[in-house]
Structure 1
Amino acid sequence: MTRIVNLALGQLGPIARADSRAQVVKRLCALMREAHASGAHLIVYPELALTTFFPRWYIEDEAELDSFFEREMPGPDTLPLFELSRELGVGFYLGYAELAEEGGRRQRYNTSILVDRGGRIVGRYRKVHLPGHREHEPWRRFQHLEKRYFTAGDGFGVNEAFGGKVGMALCNDRRWPETYRVMGLQGVEMVLIGYNTPVHNAPAPAHDDLSLFHNQLSLQAGAYQNGTWVAGVAKAGMEEGVDSIGGSCVVAPSGEVVARCVTKDDELALARCDLDFCAVYKRTTFNFDLHRQPHAYGMIVARKGETLMADGSAVAG
């Protein structure tokens, strides 16, 4: 029996700094209703989907910074999305800024959650590969202060959900092969990735014209090399004076793009994803147990003072 996930890409256009959570959630709900009407089981929203992309500003006031973060999920503003999910039977992936209390300390994370078709959170992920910089750099047209505002997450897990094995990542994670491979070693069959990516790369402006190409290249490579479906969903368009790429798409385990958004606005695109199609690649070209040779690179230094082991883990010494 095939395992089909009807997947919807819930791309968002710009969110203004003055837009309220309620306004944004109303847009998310509208996309979910459209997804349901089209037969979708799961809708994927972007990274930091509830607010404008605030790391573009250097914010010194802690209260102002905290206003972009969620202290609970669901909270009063996001509860309607969970209620609609339960009513319609449509699950969702949502990226947001999380303010957590851990061991008596406040921690800020760039987070995504996976919600099942009953409106229940079944997975949580915190972004590992934080891009940008930590200190104010006035020479930039806009800042990219994720390293200042977020703590890095501690790994990539895989969730049993939607009839298969579903993993999550966020934005810059998509560029790193380890993101997909760590989940691939866990048998992942679908990777969901939200992103906010500006067209302009301040440290490397020569890359600006390649931003869409690099986005799709990363998604396709990760899908093919790990025999998994990959969905990448953007918050796109001219937001507070910064132009961000669109390019939301679904990539099959073959590496082929099977669905995409074509605008930089709120837009829905749909893909019929057969999770059993992953086995065509996991049992042949990318049969890790049969063809992968971890002993050949088991002594590569992962970081200073650490060794990368055959199972992909790093140990001291």
Structure 2
Amino acid sequence: MVRLAIAQHAAADSVADNLATAERLIADAAAQGAKLVCFPEVHLSPFFPKTKGGDASKWALTPDDASIARLSEAAKANGIVVVSNLYLADRDGRRYDASPVFDADGTLLGVSRMNEIAQFDGFWEKDYYAPGEGFAVYDTAAGRVGVVICFDRHFPESYRAVARAGADIVATPTCIETSEPVSLFEAEMRTLSFHNSVYSLLANRCGREEERSYAGQSLICAPDGAVLSRAGSSAQLLFADCDLDARRQMAEERGFLSARIVREGAVTKG
């Protein structure tokens, strides 16, 4: 069994304050037996894409930023896998909604980037993010972890891609407002988990930022589609104990990931 955690929290108007919160939550999650902790979307800053055409340069972190090094150090100090999500500026100047994944020894295993970028009220993300190029699965001390960031989860092929690449666990840092259909999103996550025989973590922020309010209600779902843990609307650590061997057996028995329809895809005729 492996214990997974979500660090649901509100964001302050300061990278330093949010980083201190992240370090505390990493230590608390590890102290309570978690082997992996996933954070909400852009958890070191307010959710700046709520503003159309704004300037978010002060929130952009470069790969050598001290904040990223401190997340690595926190993972190592506490022996826990950390799935973060940051506003990351690459050395070529492009900026991404990006999730660094740190193994339990602090090693940066890689960085996943959001591929499909939203552009509508409250989520003016094309004004800030460049698109990523595909999905990755990481071999971690907590199991094989895929990352599907926020808007990408609405495209079923995202979860299918990481599941077919061998993910046991899919981490989904997200930002969901209280005005959105949270119950529908729960049904979505349960279906993605069931169809792909994976454990899924939907890690949402909470709290109010200017005129916007964020829902919390993070979820951990099982490969059979059951909700193992559901958060409330305020800050909390959410846990679930997961059996990865049973998950792999379930995936083999169901055959969803090896079905002929998945291998061959669609054919246009006429």
Over 3 Å counting, the alpha-carbon distance change for 1:286 and 1:213 in structure 2 is farther
SS at 2:148 equivalent: strand
1:132 — aligned with what? 119
| Aligned-residue offset at 1:237 | 2.5
Q: Could you tell me which of 31, 35, 49 is aligned with 2:29?
A: 35
Q: Residues 212-271 of structure 1: CA distance to partner in whole angstroms, max 9, x if unpaired?
A: 112211211111101111011101222222012211111111111111212x33210111
* Gap change, CA 1:79 and 1:296, over 3 Å in 2: closer
The answer to whether the Cα contact below 8 Å between 1:92 and 1:116 also exists between their aligned partners in 2 is yes
Query: Are positions 1:99 and 2:89 aligned together?
Result: yes
TM-score of the aligned structures, taking structure 2 as reference length: 0.92
User: Aligned partners of 1:215 and 1:300: how far apart in 2?
Assistant: 32
| 1:82 is aligned to 2:50 | no
Residue identity matched to 2:148 = A
2:266 to 298, 301, 304: 298
Instruction: State whether residues 227 and 286 of structure 1, in contact with CA within 8 Å, keep that contact through their aligned partners in structure 2.
Output: no
Find the partner of 1:120 among 99, 102, 107: 107
TM-superposed CA distance for 1:33, in Å, is: 1.8
Secondary structure at the counterpart of residue 298 of structure 1: coil
Question: Which residue is equivalent to 1:309?
Answer: none
Consecutive aligned runs of 4 or more in structure 1 exceeding 4 Å deviation: none
Q: State whether structure 2 residue 62 is matched by structure 1 residue 71.
A: yes
* Equivalent position amino acid for 2:98 in 1: T
Report the CA distance between 1:149 and its aligned residue. 1.1
Superposition pairs of residues 1-317 of structure 1, within 5 angstroms: 4-13=1-10, 15-16=11-12, 19-59=13-53, 64-73=55-64, 75-102=65-92, 106-133=93-120, 143-162=122-141, 164-200=143-179, 208=180, 211-262=181-232, 264-289=233-258, 291-294=259-262, 297-299=265-267
CA distance in 2, matches of 1:78, 1:68: 13
Confirm or deny: 8 A CA contact 1:59 1:65 kept in the other structure. Answer: no
Q: Which runs of 5+ in 2 are unaligned?
A: none
Larger Rg: 1
SS at match of 1:250: strand
Any conservation in 1 of the 2:30–2:78 contact (CA below 8 Å)?
yes
Where 1:217 maps in the other structure, the secondary structure is helix
Deviation at 1:194, TM superposition (A): 0.6
Identity of aligned residues (%): 25
TM-score after normalising by structure 1: 0.79
Structure 1 unaligned segments of length 5 or more: list them. 134-139, 201-207, 302-317
Secondary structure of the corresponding residue to residue 213 of structure 1: helix
Q: Hey, what does 1:304 align to over in structure 2?
A: none
Task: Name the amino acid aligned to 2:50.
Answer: R
Alpha-carbon RMSD across the aligned residues, in angstroms, is 2.0
Contact preservation (8 Å) 1:216, 1:247: no
Q: For this pair of structures, how many residues does the alignment match?
A: 269
1:146 is displaced (CA, Å) by 0.4
Change (3 A) 1:164 1:37: closer
1:101 is displaced (CA, Å) by: 2.2
